Structure 1
Amino acid sequence: MNVTHFLNSNTQKFPLKSAIGYKKKEEWKELSWANFRRMVFKTANALKTAGIVENDRVAIYSDNSAEWIIFDLAVLSLGAVTVPIYSTNNLEQAEYILADSEAKIILVGNQDQYDAAVEILNKNQVLQQIIVSKKSVWIQKEKSQYLEDFIKKCDEHFEIVEKDDEDLATIIYTSGTTGVPKGVMLTHGNFYKCFDAHFDFFKFKNFENEHSLAFLPLTHVFERSWTLLCLYGGAKVTFLENTKLIASTLTEVKPTMMCSVPRFYQKIYAGIQEMVSESTESKKKIFNWAMKVGAEVAELKRTGKSVSFSLKLKNYIANTLVFKKIKHKMGGNLWFMPCGGASISAEVTQFFDAMGIHITVGYGLTETTATLTAFPFQNYEYGTAGITLGDTKIRIGENDEIQAKGSGIMKGYYKKPAETAEVFTNDGWFKTGDAGKFDEKGNLVITDRIKDLMKTSNGKYVAPQPIENLLSNNNFITQAMVIAEGKPFVTALIIPNFEALKELLPKLNIPFTSWEEIVNTDKIKDFYHQKLDEIQKQLSGFEKVKKFVLMPAEFEITTGEITPTLKVKRNVVLAKYVDLIDKMYS
């Protein structure tokens, strides 16, 4: 079955209901299911007229937008293959993906992406045409066309091309923390079988009334799979183009669902903790009482027990005094929030649960069509990645490596048979590269990336992720990268939370000059030393960060220091800042 068949079934069921939302000229707009399908089919016919046939590759190089998902579904309904490119990828990265995938047409979003595509088009023998989603982009007429003009004269009637489970739907190039990007081949069967597994696992009620906000990049398997799942189930999806506007968008759009990465929740958690620490004693008491009541209610709900009337009453007061204000800043309607892409600490998920905002923690990879495991609605265990979905099977192999089988496992890496063979065992299990174990209740516990596990020169093994999570749960730390491999002790490169730090400067009588100067002042270094002493109390001596460098700017996606889901590319950062790191050990 072609995964896009939901366009027909959902249009028949609720033609006038909103399918997608998007912002145009500072105003939120909507497309009904009937009009959404119409736009997809017109685009599919335009691609067909342009010579795209089954199994041809078509690329998308753009920020999230209504045009992104319309183009993607048009490509898939035609039986062709979508090749998404991160909007933050530079010219060289985009050029590699277009050459490797042999894409014939590309959709671009902004001027920089268009300019890069033109340069690539002039060198690339396969790429034939650039389609531009926004009229604000200046284009050269030759081999370039605005999407609006591209589809203008096309018919809205279209027959979706039938596909088998094993037929290729997309090639997603991993932005992995090491090595050259590999094109992960996912099939139509990978997608819709995973969708069915999710609906069976969560047993949503009236899913068509839900409203998801697409906030993570659609290029990433997590947001792409989640967005397609929402549309597959008839829910509305609103697309956020500029992620910096997430705070205002949440209050404007008021979604009920949204998938995100741990950093989003860590920032909220750290900000609230800092705000409470600076409050009056009476406000602290109220907050702590509310959290205690919320935690009791959350624990009863988690274990499937009933909440007494008196506790419900207390929780109502706690919600009115404390939780409601925080929920309002997140739109007020969020109740289902899948979280993945990296590990999240138990204290953060417990904190949100106490406020009545449940984070559904999950685990998966691009190669597994995202979710392998997730928290069920009840009897989940904090600090784990939940239990398996659908027909997924997991075993623990050599070096505690998590290995998986099931409907979500990729077809392989595009044009890379040797690399494909490397990640599968002789008996057909996919090797995730992550280390883990099962607890006594069958929950998967991720211990770390096998490649990331570090051994100090004293022979002690250090897992960096739990330490980095502990540090970045603090409001004054945006990101931390732990260093220990072959070293006598643990050190870290720390990215301060520059907003919080700027507010602190007047209290320390430090005039703002530049961040290069600020992070090197003794007062700021002493402040962070104190913070680290407080944060690391629970760690063993050999795990504690003994020395650190405060970085004057955040790690950048464009320079390759972090992935689009904000994971640090250790090899890149280690090579780039080798002198700074060496100084900590000299």
Structure 2
Amino acid sequence: MLSRGRSEMEFKTVHEMYRHWAETRPGLPAYYVKRQGGYVPVSWQAFGQSIRDFAVGLMALGMEYRDPVSILGLTRPEWDIADKAAMSAGGIAVGVYHSNTAAQVHHVVHHSESRFLIVENRQQWEKVRTIRKDLPHVKRFIVMDPWEGAAEEGLVSFEEVLDLGRRERPRHEQEYRRRFESVAPDDTAILFYTSGTTGPPKAAMLTHANVLAACEFMRDLKIFTAQDTSVLWLPMPHIYGRIAMIAGTYTGTVGYYAESLDKMIENLQEIRPTIFYSVPRIFEKVHSRVLSQAAESSPLKRKIFAWALATGLRRSRMLREGALPPRSLEWKYRLADRLVFRKVRQVFGGRIRILISGGAPIAKEILEFFHGAGILPLELYGITEVLGCTMNRPDRYRLGSVGPPGPGVELRLAEDGEILIRSKMVFKGYLKDPEKTAEVLSPDGWYATGDIGTVDQDGFVWITDRKKDILITAGGKNVAPQNIENILKTSPYISQALVCGDRKPYLTALITLDPEEMRKWAQAQGIEVSSLQEMASHPRVTDFIDSIVRDKNRELAQYEQIKAFRIVPEEFSQDSGTLTATLKVRRREVVKKYGHLIDEMYQA
């Protein structure tokens, strides 16, 4: 068993922490937001006032103590204000993914019995309108970005709620204070709905004590400082985005809101963060683009890039082994940095010191690439029901591992290799589902993660796969598909991969193409195609992907090798229900949608 110590909490509730910062840092920036072409700070005093005004506005609209409040939309300041306002008025905050379908929105809002539903804009309201009559618990609908005619549909604007709170403050102030102070550490602060990769989403009840313990977990890692800046963009209904934001507040890191995912590269140049949180898919895309650009350059530039990369990887290997690189290597690295790696760092704004990868596994090759380029990539492991589990640190990291257990975390392995976790961050159960809770949470507080892993002699944790995803071939071999999928995705031409083969004689894969990279390749080959569907069925494309798969098979044991594949004629996406909000593949949905292609590979 592995354990790390922890200190006592400083706050009783999440909203108490936010009030403390508003009172002790009134003139300091709480966050930055893009307005009129530039990033401007919003002070803690202004942020704290907005939280209180919105909370009182909700109370004036009929919010009762412990009422759940659902928030549907992308990450933006209004989302955060509503989140903390709901908690400070004694309620429970419920996040709803912007990519959810109307049916999925209904499940979350109805199951949580939310009394208020805050939607971002007209696009989100169009989904809600179709299910409005099936949400009997909802008292009021609030919209962040109103449009002409929104009031006629019974919507109240976000600004109207703030104005109402300011006007009604004298009447509700005493009750607001009573509710604020009445919330206990063990009361539910947030309902996190699981991603639903293996079934209907469950509502994990995370308490104020759980969230504050996660803040201390992040602080005690001694990675983040008040001098750091980060980008706020990860989805707030997911623990990764929400805890990164709240813990960032706790450690003093200042966040800048990205305008959108499409404008991320542009925003990174303006924000110039020192820390960047992301899911692996973003890092995979950056890695693929850099390799692709190098491949398209002149023969001399290709040669320089290959030399620089080899130099960076050699230096990275020595540093990770605890060896001091010789002076000759350091001179070469400085030249490589000037010619190549500085440009890689510039993608993230030029000041980046740490990349944090979470939410899904990432290929070791990609971590090594960034480390070689002079950026420290730290992988962390957290799950909805436990928040933080393990994390690499600047002074103690191992690429490919998710790091040792974090402060205050006990970790052990079950007989079958399943990772078990116990800490003050472990949730109090699933809402309205004691049976599912009992399946994963033991009476003495151990949570069964569903992840299979190992722990090396130095205490580093290595995750091999999800317990439910492990494939057992007809020959009796246990295969972890995620490792194989990550190897396939290191090709810039492959966007996603899903490995199949449970109870089958061999492994197969469904593969999606990277549209941009494949378009360039097709052009260079003189292949004329007008769509991704057309490209997926082109025989020369199939031959090209086959050569990539055969090349990647060399990195795998014989029983892990892909014997057949099919190219899916579209990308997996959130809209189609085949990706989660953190861009993880929904295996069940993919298998259901493309089962005919899987059957073909085994019939053949």
Q: What is the TM-score with the length of structure 1 in the denominator?
A: 0.95
Q: For the residues of structure 1 that align with 2:366 and 2:514, how far apart are their CA atoms?
A: 18
2:485 maps to: 468
> What percentage of aligned pairs have identical amino acids?
32
Question: Per-residue CA shift, 1:452-505, capped at 9, x if unaligned?
Answer: 011122222221000000011110001001111122211111010010011111
Does residue 35 of structure 2 align to residue 17 of structure 1?
no
* Aligned counterpart for 1:254 among listed residues 272, 276, 291: 272
* Aligned counterpart for 2:132 among listed residues 108, 116, 121: 121
* Aligned counterpart for 1:291 among listed residues 309, 315, 325: 309
Instruction: Give the deviation of 1:16 after TM superposition.
Output: 2.4
Contact 1:2 1:162 in 2 (8 A): no
Q: For the residues of structure 2 that align with 1:422 and 1:137, how far apart are their CA atoms?
A: 49
Counterpart residue identity of residue 423, structure 2: G
Counterpart residue identity of residue 94, structure 1: V
Q: For the residues of structure 2 that align with 1:93 and 1:359, how far apart are their CA atoms?
A: 34
* Aligned counterpart for 1:164 among listed residues 184, 197, 203: 184
1:574–1:58 Cα change, 3 Å: same
* Aligned counterpart for 1:225 among listed residues 229, 232, 243: 243
Counterpart residue identity of residue 6, structure 1: M
1:61–1:310 Cα change, 3 Å: same
Instruction: Give the deviation of 1:282 after TM superposition.
Output: 3.3
Instruction: Give 3-state SS (helix, strand or coil) of 1:419's partner.
Output: helix
Return 480-489 or 150-159, whichever deviates more.
150-159
Q: For the residues of structure 1 that align with 2:591 and 2:143, how far apart are their CA atoms?
A: 38
Counterpart residue identity of residue 386, structure 2: T
* Aligned counterpart for 2:229 among listed residues 199, 211, 217: 211
Cα RMSD of the aligned pairs, angstroms, is 2.1
Counterpart residue identity of residue 549, structure 1: R
Counterpart residue identity of residue 466, structure 1: N
Does residue 60 of structure 2 align to residue 49 of structure 1?
yes
Does residue 194 of structure 2 align to residue 174 of structure 1?
yes
Instruction: Give the deviation of 1:372 after TM superposition.
Output: 0.3
Q: For the residues of structure 2 that align with 1:472 and 1:465, how far apart are their CA atoms?
A: 10
Q: For the residues of structure 1 that align with 2:532 and 2:401, how far apart are their CA atoms?
A: 38
Does residue 291 of structure 2 align to residue 273 of structure 1?
yes
Q: For the residues of structure 2 that align with 1:223 and 1:74, how far apart are their CA atoms?
A: 18
1:482 maps to: 499
1:543 maps to: 560
Instruction: Give 3-state SS (helix, strand or coil) of 1:331's partner.
Output: coil
Instruction: Give 3-state SS (helix, strand or coil) of 1:212's partner.
Output: strand
Contact 2:60 2:164 in 1 (8 A): no
Question: Per-residue CA shift, 1:180-209, capped at 9, x if unaligned?
Answer: 1100000111111111122112254xx223
Instruction: Give 3-state SS (helix, strand or coil) of 1:238's partner.
Output: strand
Counterpart residue identity of residue 459, structure 1: G
2:255 maps to: 237
Q: For the residues of structure 1 that align with 2:20 and 2:480, how far apart are their CA atoms?
A: 48
Contact 1:20 1:32 in 2 (8 A): yes
Return 60-69 or 48-57, whichever deviates more.
48-57
Counterpart residue identity of residue 492, structure 1: A
Q: Number of aligned pairs?
A: 583
1:412 maps to: 429
* Aligned counterpart for 1:186 among listed residues 180, 186, 206: 206
Contact 2:288 2:492 in 1 (8 A): yes
Question: Per-residue CA shift, 1:293-344, capped at 9, x if unaligned?
Answer: 4345445654666666665544332221111111112111222222111111
Q: For the residues of structure 1 that align with 2:293 and 2:153, how far apart are their CA atoms?
A: 56
Q: For the residues of structure 2 that align with 1:306 and 1:520, how far apart are their CA atoms?
A: 51
1:300–1:163 Cα change, 3 Å: farther
1:456 maps to: 473
Contact 2:58 2:165 in 1 (8 A): no
Q: For the residues of structure 2 that align with 1:398 and 1:81, how far apart are their CA atoms?
A: 37
Return 159-168 or 508-517, whichever deviates more.
159-168
Instruction: Give the deviation of 1:576 after TM superposition.
Output: 1.4
* Structure 2 segments unaligned to the other structure (5+ residues): 1-11
Counterpart residue identity of residue 91, structure 2: A
Counterpart residue identity of residue 428, structure 2: K
Counterpart residue identity of residue 207, structure 2: T
1:107 maps to: 118
Counterpart residue identity of residue 208, structure 2: H
Contact 1:384 1:446 in 2 (8 A): yes
Instruction: Give the deviation of 1:8 after TM superposition.
Output: 3.1
* Aligned counterpart for 1:552 among listed residues 563, 569, 592: 569
Counterpart residue identity of residue 99, structure 1: H
Return 107-116 or 97-106, whichever deviates more.
107-116
Does residue 601 of structure 2 align to residue 581 of structure 1?
no
Counterpart residue identity of residue 574, structure 1: V
1:235–1:225 Cα change, 3 Å: same
Counterpart residue identity of residue 134, structure 2: K
Q: For the residues of structure 2 that align with 1:580 and 1:142, how far apart are their CA atoms?
A: 45
Counterpart residue identity of residue 253, structure 2: A
2:392 maps to: 375
Counterpart residue identity of residue 377, structure 1: P
* Structure 1 segments unaligned to the other structure (5+ residues): none
1:253–1:162 Cα change, 3 Å: farther
Which residues in structure 2 correspond to 1:301-320 (within 5 Å)? 301-302=319-320, 312-320=330-338
Instruction: Give the deviation of 1:42 after TM superposition.
Output: 1.0
2:49 maps to: 38
